[in-house]
Amino acid sequence: MSSRQMNASNRETTTTVTHFILLGFPSSPEMQLLYFGLFSTTYTLTLTGNGLIVFSVLLDRHLHTPMYILLGNFSLLEMCYVTTTVPNMLANLLSTNKSISFLSCFAQFYFFFSFGYDEGFFLCAMAFDRYLAICRPLHYPCIMTKQLYISLVILGWLFGFTLYLAPVVLISRLPFCGPNMINHFVCDPVPLMMLSCSEDIITQLLYLTFNAFFIIGTLIFILCTYFLVIRAILQMPSTASKHKAFSTCASHLAVVTLFYGPIIMMYVSPRSGHPEKMQKIITLFYSVITPLCNPLIYSLRNKEMKAALRKIFRTEQSVHKM
């Protein structure tokens, strides 16, 4: 008998779910401590790396351009993104009580995916900025005005919070009558829908539609943009110009690959056939590992960013000497 059938048969004998149990990574206490050390270190490095990019953009006037302002906001989003899940995961690793209230679970669900949607929007905006800079260099100052990139930043932060409200509300209104154990370390929509006592086709279709709109729509936009960008780069007469343009775009394309690869595997269908262990590994990759890699990718491949980071470290050293 499937879990949903068991839920339906228990509807009359089970009270409404008021909390969920996030099983996380079941293992020995020693392994739990090892996981805690590993994930807490990763979390600290992620906040530090992305925080340095944010402060570099704020403090260095040379980085007060649309490209770096969008990057700074993207890094700030990464910090918010990991904070929605990792602290709770770390607390669960040290606790025998792995429960999370119904409201907290859906709040985590909402903020985690809203920030994820916002990141997708910013990746599109960054691709659009590169398209204008490389394909329309003479018109770039007239098109990418201060008013436009500020509008893109505001829309970027509002995009996910507005768009993802409907799926969260609909899934939260599904009947949950037990069991309440989620074999995951986050409140993910797929296991949540599987715990529901009834199978709501409309909610599943809406969820699939939102995923398709976000994942496929934004990815097609980015790929089309970079097709035009690469075509323009190949037509450049100077080898040095080609190298500089490719270097500028390579970091963004690497981040796009890290971002879209795992979520395509996980969320193209509400009934993804991945085993539960594989789901956790994929989620761990895009929710913990990818935000750690992004500042490394941008800081190591970008001369202006490396110069700004050197200034910050020199300033800190000067303050300590004083």
Query: In this structure, what token pair is assigned to residue 225?
Result: 């943009």
Q: Which domain holds residue 58?
A: 3-321
Which residues on adjacent β-strands are paired with residue 100?
A: 20
Distance CA 268, CA 274 (A): 12
User: Cα angle at 49 between 86 and 320, to 5 degrees?
Assistant: 120
The mean pLDDT values, 10 residues at a time, for the chain of 322 residues are 48 65 87 94 95 90 90 94 94 88 94 94 94 92 94 94 89 86 89 84 84 88 93 85 79 88 72 67 89 82 73 63 56
Q: Which CATH number does the domain housing residue 150 bear?
A: 1.20.1070.10
User: Is the model's pTM score more than 0.85?
Assistant: yes
Per the structure, the count of domains in the chain is 1
| pLDDT value of position 24 | 86
Distance CA 268, CA 209 (A): 9
Ordered alpha helix ranges (H), the chain: 3-9, 29-59, 66-83, 86-93, 102-135, 140-143, 146-163, 165-172, 189-194, 201-211, 217-234, 239-267, 276-284, 290-301, 303-321
| pLDDT value of position 219 | 92
State which amino acid sits at residue 78. E
